[in-house]
Structure 1
Amino acid sequence: MYADAQLTISHRTRCLAAARWVLPPGAAIAGRSAAALFGAGLIGDAEPLDILVPSGLRFGPVAGLVVHTGEVAEADVLSLSGIPVTTPLRTCWDLARWLDPEEAVVVVDRLLGQRLVRADELREMADRRRGARGWKRMLRVAQLADPGAESAQESRLRVRIVLAGVRRPVTQFVVERDGRFIARVDLAWPELKIAVEYDGLWHDDPRQLHRDRRRLNRLLGEDWIVLHVTAQRLREDFEGFLAELRQALRTRTR
């Protein structure tokens, strides 16, 4: 397939090309690719497209496509600028079935945050499809998802904390005193005054780092315990962080 040399080949461009010239009738862009088209995806431009093909229809393999088969109702697909794509709700169902829970929640959090789906719709879908293959995974993702996450790493951190058996934290909690704003933290157990902050790449900005540390210093003045997690620690020493979090929770619940 040929394209103008000046054309930017984005994931959306590839979805459009596949929809126009490759996909068989009844098939749709799905999964992470569908989420990307809705503006909620975390998928690279060169990564394979997720495609949903109706059961019984023989198609593929095709280079650049990951072909999934399954029952596809007419209500599960909509047209987005001429591209057949699974609805946000059906996309969540497929994400729950195709990805591990942590990565599925990362994308579902973004769909929730953009109000493309609602938490009660996710739970209703799981209940409605009870007994179908994948319904338990959908229920688990619905239980773990939270629209308050502001980054993929925050979602991963929260999911790992909950799956480790720690009580679920509140996302983006605002600390106030006498009605005056003090700070907003990524994850919190407000009744215990314990917070967890994910330190992302933006901390390379000295001005932002200064503002962030000043904000957290105000929290410490309010008798909060603030634990920090970096990308490296999340990747290499989550167990060490988890031990610190559990110790802080035990200290405040005595």
Structure 2
Amino acid sequence: MVLRRGLAVLSPARMWVDVSRVMRLPRFLALTDALLSTRHPLVSAEELACHHERFAGGRGARVRQRALELADGRAESPRESMVRLILIEAGLPRPECNVEIWHDRRFVARVDMLYADERLIIEYDGDHHRDPDQWSRDQIRRAELESLGYRMIVVTRRDFDDPDALVRRIRRLLRAAR
């Protein structure tokens, strides 16, 4: 317990342990990534590992262990975390999260996920990308990245309906880059 504004509340690490007992890995990994966020961390990986050990063997232990292995505080949305999990569980290499791409000292973009050696970008586009202005900005950004030799695959919520098809597409793109 910690005190916040005079109230006793669970610490982020203790809350993490408690919800591991009822949450499945995809959403739990997203929660873990958010807690470890490099932009606004609420807890350290060491603190989560300490709490995991403290409550070892109980319900949720396996999901906590897996989340600790896969966590990446650079992920910036739950869906990014879930896409990354789908790829890793399918045996694909772990992509880098939220990587800045520069060209001749000029910032070009920060991309959701990147396979750097293959120059393959994976972007998760939520519904806000359907806004006409955002869509136009996305197309210009995509054209700029493609002009620099990157390939891009856009993932949407519908890809979660058939994650195997998503994995097959990404696997083909990774193979084609070799």
TM normalised by structure 2 equals 0.89
> Quick check: 1:85 aligned with 2:9?
yes
1:190 to 1:120, Cα distance in 2 relative to 1, 3 A: farther
- Is there any run of 5+ residues in structure 1 with no aligned partner, and where? 1-76
- Aligned partner (choices 153, 158, 173) of residue 227 of structure 1: 153
Task: Give the superposed CA RMSD.
Answer: 1.8
Q: Does 1:179 align with 2:88?
A: no
Distance 1:214 1:165 in 2: 32
CA distance in 2, matches of 1:144, 1:161: 11
Q: Distance in 2 between matches of 1:203 and 1:136?
A: 35
Q: Kindly report which structure 2 residues correspond to 1:96-135, keeping only aligned pairs within 5 A, or say none.
A: 96-113=20-37, 114-126=40-52, 128-129=53-54, 131-133=56-58, 134-135=60-61
2:124 is the counterpart of 1:192: no
- Residue equivalent to 1:245: 170
Q: Secondary structure at 1:117's aligned position in 2?
A: coil
> In the alignment, is residue 94 of structure 1 matched against residue 18 of structure 2?
yes
- Does residue 75 of structure 2 align to residue 146 of structure 1? no
Secondary structure, counterpart of 1:156 in structure 2:
helix
Code of the aligned partner of 2:168: A
How far did residue 124 of structure 1 move?
4.0
TM-score of the aligned structures, taking structure 1 as reference length: 0.64
Gaps of 5+ in 2: none
Q: Any idea what SS the aligned residue of 1:223 has?
A: coil
- Stretch moving more, 236-245 or 81-90: 81-90
Select the residue among 207, 216, 230 that pairs with 2:142: 216
2:36 match: secondary structure? helix
**CA spacing shift, 1:217–1:148, aligned 2, 3 Å:** same
Could you list the per-position Cα deviations for residues 168-224 of structure 1 after superposition, in whole angstroms to 9, with x for gaps in the alignment?
111111111222112211111112101101111111211111111111111111111
Q: Which has the larger radius of gyration?
A: 1
- For CA contacts below 8 A with separation 6 or more, give which structure has more relative contact order: 2
Q: Distance in 2 between matches of 1:167 and 1:97?
A: 28
